[in-house]
Amino acid sequence: MGRRFALTFPGEPGTHAEQDVVVVEDTGTTGPGGHPVYADASGIVRAEINEQGAVRMLASGGHQTPRTPMHAEPLP
């Protein structure tokens, strides 16, 4: 536990919106692929991140279609 990542998401398609950066922290649980699950402080953004930094977004509620981040940067 204690590991954190900054997930960078693209701006809204068709706009000049800036990228969104969300910090997620290890939840101490594992996802469907057997890798650690990370979540933001609200618990809405949830992601399974493997050792190579590949991200699988996980829905945190019904009717949610999570966007895939462009980048996952490990944080100290």
- Domain ranges (residues) in the chain: 4-75
How many other β-carbons are positioned within 10 Å of the β-carbon of residue 71? 14
Q: Which residues contact 12 (CB under 8 A, 6 or more apart)?
A: none
pTM to 2 decimals?
A: 0.83
Instruction: Look at residue 71 and tell me whether its pLDDT is greater than 80.
Output: yes
Confidence of residue 2 (pLDDT cuts 50, 70, 90): low
Percent of the chain surpassing pLDDT 70: 95
Instruction: Look at residue 62 and tell me whether its pLDDT is greater than 80.
Output: no
Distance CA 73, CA 38 (A): 13
